[in-house]
Amino acid sequence: MASVTFPTRLGGSGITITDDASPETGLANGGHRERFLPALKGTVAMAEYVYQYAAKIDGAAEDAERAEEARGYVEAYAGALKSNIHAHYDQLATLKFSFARGRYQLDEGGERTDTTVPSDLMTISRSGTKWVERPNRTIHERLADTLARQWKHGVSKGALVEPSRTNYFLDSTDYVNNFSVTQNNVTKTPNATTAPDGSLTGCLVEGSTSVSISTSADTFYIVGQSVPAGDVSGAIYLKKHPDGPSVIDTRFRALGDGIDEFEQFELTDDWQYLDVGSITSTVESGFRIHVGGNAKFYVWHANIEDGDSPSSPIITQDTTVTRAADTITRTLGNEYNPNGFSVYAEGRQTSATGTVIYLYSSGLDNSIRVGLPSNSDNVLFVSTGSSLQAVIPLSDFPDFTPGDSARLLLSVDPPNNTVRLTLNGVTVSRSVNEFPVIDTLRVGGVSGNNNNINGTVGDVTMYPIVLTQSQAEEMTA
């Protein structure tokens, strides 16, 4: 049993909330309806306490410790509350893909399936291998046609769903020959530290003079082969050296167009795979990632790839490498109720156009799809035959910024000719004259590279009922 108490000495009311069915403190079996608002009041009260106390902090250690303790209570409760609310609704679920937890469940009315093997309940397709991060921040290679579960900074993010991408940086881990420096003002020491893949191939770089990153002098840079015109993005592994700076500048440069994108990062003692930017190039062009100038740091692999946002590491040796797209689908059975259903999902889309949930039969002409956003800055499409039945634009959710993490719930209500989408606690509905008959669920894309989210999906859950607006907002807030 998990519990959280709101101490009076930190601004709380003294109440205790638990995740069981206790009639006095529990959130289960409907208890959240009675205790949700008091708990929120406790959260607000303690947040106000944190604000007021933090405003008075003058550097005294005791004050700082108490403020940090209060903030910890608030954050712990917020996480426990979300978990308990979803545990209550899980009793209603017929299909649940908990990608972040590595558990997959199906209930068609007979024996309930509860498995840790994703291929038991879904079809996973990717024609090649793929590198993903593990809990200890190292990376490992997943085999073809296996689910790629991604961790980030010690937190499980769920299924990593990416389009096909090509890395145009040759020999991406060769720091002896392939990495270039200008003016001989930089010292590089290959094989100086353990890299994210476990090999002793991390490279130490040290600049000799202080020069702006906006010049080519005294900077460490990598060179990508000629990349076709269009969207190009870059990412690189960097790590702080004990004697180096905490903050470092980067420049992503399209040589053909002379376009630069500048970023600044705070380095840590752990390897970080850092997004150095995206550029739309009008011509086929070489690209560079500059890092410098007067700095001492560790560097490893980098991607210079086609696409509007960087994807996971694509290791290269002597030539460009193309990684295949991820496909996750399920043919629906009795867990799906065509007379009314709901689908919950949470995740993060980094591509400019993507589809988190795709419900269809025979393609887009008979489908419901939700993206963050999908085509033409819309988040929802409902189509039957050649007729577009409903559209919800991204502008209906003004507080949502593409690229942010999202919790969404789709409610499909044919008897009342209504479709409803709730995104991070905000609901928008549309009238629908005709709904498609669907038979397949796809996660993270439409087909091949089409509308691939290039991001993570932590959870997808189907309910054979139309959840109410208040329920949807409670689940996604």
In angstroms, rounded to a whole number, what is the distance separating the alpha carbons of residues 106 and 267?
A: 43
In the numeric block, the tokens 């929120």 are attached to: 40
In the numeric block, the tokens 């498609």 are attached to: 436
pLDDT at 105: 97
Tell me the whole-structure pTM to 2 decimals. 0.81
Neighbours of 101 (CB within 10 A): 14
pLDDT at 166: 97
In angstroms, rounded to a whole number, what is the distance separating the alpha carbons of residues 244 and 267?
A: 9
Q: What is the DSSP letter of 383?
A: E
pLDDT at 216: 55
φ/ψ of 51, rounded to 5, equals: -60, -50
Peptide bond into 293 cis (omega under 30): yes
Torsion of CA 262, 268, 270, 276, to 10 degrees: -10
Low-confidence stretches of the chain (pLDDT < 50) are 57-62, 64-65, 67-68, 71-72, 75-76, 181-183, 210-211
pLDDT at 1: 54
pLDDT at 60: 43
pLDDT at 106: 98
List, in sequence order, every residue forming a beta bridge with 79; answer none if it has no partner: none
Enter the tokens of residue 364: 């887009």
pLDDT at 69: 53
In the numeric block, the tokens 């309806």 are attached to: 33
- From residue 225, give the alpha-carbon distance in Å to each of 105, 205, 275, 390, 449: 45, 22, 19, 44, 23
Planar angle of CA 378, 433, 95, nearest 5 degrees: 65
In angstroms, rounded to a whole number, what is the distance separating the alpha carbons of residues 271 and 139?
A: 11
In angstroms, rounded to a whole number, what is the distance separating the alpha carbons of residues 153 and 133?
A: 9
Going by C-alpha positions, the residue among 152, 290, 314, 274 that lies closest to residue 220 is 290
pLDDT at 208: 63
Sheet containing strand 259-266, strands side by side:
180-181, 219-227, 285-292, 247-254, 259-266
State pLDDT tens for residues 258-282.
Answer: 999 999 999 999 999 999 999 999 9
In angstroms, rounded to a whole number, what is the distance separating the alpha carbons of residues 365 and 354?
A: 17
Do the Cβ atoms of 477 and 424 come closer than 8 Å?
yes
Enter the tokens of residue 371: 């993206």
In angstroms, rounded to a whole number, what is the distance separating the alpha carbons of residues 6 and 22?
A: 18
pLDDT at 181: 45
pLDDT at 240: 94
Grouping H, G, I as helix, E, B as strand and the rest as coil, residue 85 is: helix
Domains of the chain by start residue, with CATH: 3-85 (no CATH), 95-162+326-476 (2.60.120.200), 165-323 (2.60.120.260)
Peptide bond into 310 cis (omega under 30): no
Report the 3 state secondary structure along 210-223: CCCCCCCCCEEEEE
Do the Cβ atoms of 458 and 408 come closer than 8 Å?
no
